């Protein structure tokens, strides 16, 4: 592809600048990953409209893409801030000017806790929170805050049996909340994660239980408003339904992340918008472009795309389009269902099974859709944003 000019930011980090407009296949070094601008625009608007319609706050999960440019797009559309999974990720957001940050995780590392506790001294307008779910976590957070004469704002995470983190009962969560208040932490409310549950009914019942805990710990939350945070991209309709009758002084902060790019697999199958089509529709934005390098026997083609380039943890990629000849002006075609199927990935090879009568030629280009965006972004440091005519509009950086 044409050389992308680079800029050095004030903090000394390298970021690509916008390239001159060109077709993504012009002088391309494949494989490349792209995002469709039209899909990003649609998905951003649809999800922001959803949370506003249901009276929710929104902190999309930045760990999905770890691209500050995309996070800023989400904030500009109306998001409160961003969610991250670790202190290291939060540092990336902070260094790119994002000051409203929720770490949706327990933090026990002393250095990380000290950094969190010092943020308000650096920028009094910032709002940075993390989770606690045990007295050990409370003790570590309080010690870190004391060591830097800082302030740590926390949510008590409420889990469920067999799930991941979070206090396993309302009584345990209430006990942790009391310990946090007694230790001098700033208790802001409660949180949970419904995404690991098997269905919308189970998710709705669980969120209702977390809402009960929020009411139980409300006397320990100083200030005029308390916070309840829930997050996931599969059952957020269960969240909005379960909290519809919440108290007037309780804010609900949703943390969905995969909606921005959506996908052609895991989230396409599970999106709540299939259950509520009048609420909106998401479109898959991600494509990985690869070139056919070998057609060694009938019914088989190999593309130079593999596990190093594309996600595979929640399902194999799917073939969205073929560009015969692989040039910028190549003929485009969409294979019939079952005609061209991904059967296997090696580190840098993709195996395509071709139905009878279907043929590819070395040099052809294949556009793949993916399943689970979180594990494709981390394979790329530069991602092209393209228009519907395949013109590269900008090249954004990821920070993993």
**Maximal CA-CA distance, the chain:** 72
Structure tokens at 3: 């050389």
* The pLDDT value given to residue 15: 55
Q: Compute the half-sphere exposure of residue 385: CA atoms within 13 Å on the CB side of its CA.
A: 20
Classify residue 17 as exposed, middle or buried by CB count within 10 Å of its CB (0-12, 13-18, 19+): exposed
Radius of gyration of the chain (CA): 23
Report the CATH fold assignment for 6-36+282-397: Lyase, Ornithine Decarboxylase; Chain A, domain 1 (2.40.37)
* The pLDDT value given to residue 148: 98
Average pLDDT rounded to a whole number, residues 272-292: 98
Rounded to whole angstroms, how far apart are CA atoms 27 and 204? 51
CATH number of 37-262: 3.20.20.10
Helices and strands, number each (H, E), in the chain: 11, 20
Rounded to whole angstroms, how far apart are CA atoms 333 and 361? 14
Structure tokens at 368: 């793949």
The C-alpha torsion from 77 through 80 and 83 to 87, rounded to 10°, is: 120
Name the β-bridge partners of 345. 350
| Residue 10: band (very low, low, confident or very high) from pLDDT cuts 50, 70, 90 | very low
For the chain, which residues make up each domain, given as ranges?
6-36+282-397, 37-262
1, pLDDT greater than 50: no
Rounded to whole angstroms, how far apart are CA atoms 236 and 192? 12
- CA nearest neighbour of 400 among 66, 87, 86: 66
Q: What's the pLDDT tens digit per position in 147-169?
A: 999 999 999 999 999 999 999 99
Q: What's the pLDDT tens digit per position in 210-260?
A: 999 999 999 999 999 999 999 989 999 999 999 999 999 999 999 999 999
204, pLDDT greater than 80: yes
pTM, entire model: 0.93
Q: What's the pLDDT tens digit per position in 40-92?
A: 999 999 999 999 999 999 999 999 999 999 999 999 999 999 999 999 999 99
Percent of the residues in the chain that have a pLDDT greater than 70, as a whole number: 95
């Amino acid at each position: 592809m044409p050389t992308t000019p680079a800029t050095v930011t004030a903090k000394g980090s390298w970021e690509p600048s916008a390239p001159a407009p060109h077709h993504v296949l012009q002088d391309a070094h494949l494989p490349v990953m792209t995002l469709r601008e039209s899909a990003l625009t649609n998905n951003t608007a649809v999800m922001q409209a959803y949370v506003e319609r249901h009276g929710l706050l929104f902190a999309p999960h930045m760990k999905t893409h770890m691209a500050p440019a995309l996070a800023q797009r989400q904030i500009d559309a109306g998001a409160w801030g961003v969610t991250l999974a670790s202190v290291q990720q939060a540092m990336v957001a902070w260094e790119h000017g994002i000051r409203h940050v929720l770490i949706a995780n327990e933090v026990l590392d002393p250095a990380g806790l000290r950094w969190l506790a010092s943020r308000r001294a650096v920028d009094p307008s910032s709002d940075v929170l993390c989770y606690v779910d045990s007295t050990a976590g409370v003790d570590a957070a309080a010690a870190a805050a004391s060591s830097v004469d800082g302030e740590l704002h926390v949510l008590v995470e409420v889990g469920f049996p067999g799930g991941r983190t979070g206090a396993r009962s309302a009584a345990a969560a209430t006990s942790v909340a009391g310990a946090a208040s007694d230790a001098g932490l700033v208790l802001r409310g409660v949180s949970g994660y419904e995404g690991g549950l098997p269905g919308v009914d189970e998710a709705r019942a669980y969120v209702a239980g977390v809402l009960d805990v929020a009411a139980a710990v409300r006397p320990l939350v100083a200030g005029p408003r308390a916070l309840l945070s829930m997050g996931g991209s599969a059952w957020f309709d269960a969240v909005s339904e379960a909290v519809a009758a919440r108290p007037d002084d309780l804010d609900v902060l949703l943390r969905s992340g995969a909606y921005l790019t959506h996908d052609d697999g895991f989230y396409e199958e599970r999106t709540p918008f299939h259950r509520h089509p009048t609420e909106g529709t998401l479109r898959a934005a991600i494509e990985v472009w690869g070139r056919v390098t070998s057609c060694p026997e009938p019914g088989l083609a190999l593309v130079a795309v593999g596990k190093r380039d594309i996600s595979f943890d929640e399902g194999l990629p799917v073939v969205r389009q073929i560009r015969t000849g692989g040039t910028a002006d190549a003929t485009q075609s969409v294979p019939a269902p079952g005609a061209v199927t991904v059967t296997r990935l090696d580190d840098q090879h993709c195996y395509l099974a071709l139905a009878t009568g279907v043929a590819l030629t070395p040099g052809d280009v294949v556009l793949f859709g993916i399943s689970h965006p979180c594990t494709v972004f981390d394979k790329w440091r530069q991602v092209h944003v393209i228009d519907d005519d395949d013109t590269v509009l900008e090249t954004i950086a990821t920070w993993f």
